[in-house]
Structure 1
Amino acid sequence: MSEFTIIIPLYNEVENLLQLEYALLDYIPKSSKTVSILFVNDGSTDGSEKLLGEICKRNRNFHSISFQKNKGLSTALKAGFDWVQSPYLGYMDGDLQTHPEDFNLLLEYCGEYDLVTGIRENRNDTFVKIFSSKIANSIRRLFTQDGIKDTGCPLKVIKTSYAKQIPMFKGLHRFLPAMVLLQKGKIHQIPVRHFPRMKGKRKFGLSNRLFGPLTACFVFLWMKQNYIYYEIKKKE
């Protein structure tokens, strides 16, 4: 069994898949831990499923699961969390705006911390995307008080035992650090590189970057008040 599984949710990213495959193959020998790859195909309609099958067939420790229809990023992550058996899991998008090599920066701290998340330096996005992301982050921090500067950064490493205890709901991908904190976990933030999207189309616009997070914030508040957490003192 691998020590570290990288979960890659994707939707209609067929144009990026071969380059993503090469980037992952380049990273795996350099990783500080043994690596498995899990693609979660979120109901793509552009041929991604067929190409993923070919990629997984020719690469050892590459795996994929495909949804019948598009269910959203939080559902894709939930499926990945359920599938993973390695002690650590990572998460990155399939658009290559972050690079798998930067996982080593995060893995350096995964022994001491339960979740390590990236902070995108010098973001290569449109003004609207950067501006809306900053507003959404500010709103989310106001609700969660988790101190996370860039919750939307798709480069994260989580101890699998913590990830599997996260009660998932729609939009929860924006609250992973906050949910680890509810488990009394420790979190660390690391600057990572950010690259422009070269191919494919972005999946989040102004409406689901601002209004979606606001709705999810109220769900999180309910979850925070009702979350069940316990520590076992003794077993006989």
Structure 2
Amino acid sequence: MKENAYGITIIIPIFNEEEGIARLLPAFEEYINSSKFEVKLLLVNDGSTDNSLIEIKKLADHDAYVEYLSFNKNAGLSAAIRAGFERSMTKWVGYIDADLQTDPIDFLKLEAMIPHYDLVTGRREGRKDSTVKKMSSSFANWFRDSMLHDGVHDSGCPLKIMRRSVAMEMPFFKGMHRFFPALALIQGKKVIEIPVKHFPRITGKSKFNLWNRLLSPLQDTLALRWMMKRQSVYTISENSIKRHKAVIHE
């Protein structure tokens, strides 16, 4: 018996991935059957200009655990993920890219850690990307960790699980998906990184270029460092607030 009904929502942002959408359900089958949670898949169509939305609707019509959102125009990866966070109804939320360069079965590795952590992120081992992409990503990760000291080697890995309550407390900005571990640490939450598999892209093409893979993240890193330096920390020693009994759901 599963732990609870729809205990985790996996968010899958999609932008012009019509060729690969039919691969999603077969790729998730083993994870869904093995997970201790009831799993819901939430596909977010980020204003695709191809037939992605048609293919997404086919999946949603086929299986009750598949739902979707669709933007009227492209808003970017961070907006797609954030929309998924906002509309999820589960205690836990996950994220994976539709290109399936990471394997849904590795969510089981992340699940094993969530009793002890608020955010569990993957670390892609043996990355199957181009040399330019790997070098730019490596530099961006080094720069981010040097500035933010989040202790994460692959912050942009598209395989994560976190408490929905933690996700909803994060400030929303374009590019925020690269900084989920640091944003969780700012809240004082516990974060861990787990090695996961990585595969070459089979369908579609990368949506990133030099600007949004390297230059823009460097600017965001500096902005986030400023925000971390400006944190105001306080401790309440006593208070007289009367609390009423209430049931609080995350």
Whether the aligned pair in 1 keeps the contact of 2:31 and 2:108 (CA below 8 Å) is no
- The change in CA–CA distance for 1:230 and 1:106 in structure 2 (over 3 A counts) is farther
Displacement of 1:115: 0.4
Whether the aligned pair in 2 keeps the contact of 1:116 and 1:190 (CA below 8 Å) is yes
Tell me what 1:159 maps to: 163
Query: How far, CA to CA, are the matches of 1:230 and 1:121 in structure 2?
Result: 39
| Matched pairs, number | 236
Mapped pair 1:205 → 2:217: no
Mapped pair 1:3 → 2:7: yes
Deviations 1:27-66 (A, max 9, x none): 2111121100001111111110111011101111101101
- The change in CA–CA distance for 1:43 and 1:108 in structure 2 (over 3 A counts) is same
- The change in CA–CA distance for 1:19 and 1:228 in structure 2 (over 3 A counts) is farther
> Alignment RMSD, CA only?
1.7
- Segments of structure 2 that go 5 or more residues without pairing to the other structure are 244-250
Mapped pair 1:219 → 2:223: yes
Give the letter for the 1:105 counterpart. Answer: K
The partner residue of 2:193 within 189, 192, 212 is 189
Whether the aligned pair in 1 keeps the contact of 2:102 and 2:159 (CA below 8 Å) is yes
Query: How far, CA to CA, are the matches of 1:230 and 1:15 in structure 2?
Result: 52
- The change in CA–CA distance for 1:235 and 1:103 in structure 2 (over 3 A counts) is farther
The partner residue of 1:54 within 58, 73, 76 is 58
Displacement of 1:140: 1.1
The partner residue of 1:40 within 30, 38, 44 is 44
Whether the aligned pair in 2 keeps the contact of 1:81 and 1:160 (CA below 8 Å) is yes
Displacement of 1:24: 1.7
* Residue correspondence of structure 1 range 4-153 to structure 2 within 5 A: 4-153=8-157
- The change in CA–CA distance for 1:50 and 1:10 in structure 2 (over 3 A counts) is same
Give the letter for the 2:28 counterpart. Answer: L
Displacement of 1:206: 2.1
State TM-score, norm by structure 2: 0.89
Query: How far, CA to CA, are the matches of 1:100 and 1:230 in structure 2?
Result: 40
Deviations 1:97-127 (A, max 9, x none): 0011100000000010000011101111111
- Segments of structure 1 that go 5 or more residues without pairing to the other structure are none
Q: SS at the partner of 2:169?
A: coil
Name which one, 1 or 2, has greater alpha-carbon Rg: 2
Deviations 1:125-164 (A, max 9, x none): 1111101100111111122110100011100010111111
- The change in CA–CA distance for 1:16 and 1:231 in structure 2 (over 3 A counts) is farther
Identical pairs, percent: 45
Query: How far, CA to CA, are the matches of 1:29 and 1:66 in structure 2?
Result: 27
Query: How far, CA to CA, are the matches of 1:69 and 1:231 in structure 2?
Result: 44
Whether the aligned pair in 2 keeps the contact of 1:183 and 1:229 (CA below 8 Å) is no
State TM-score, norm by structure 1: 0.95
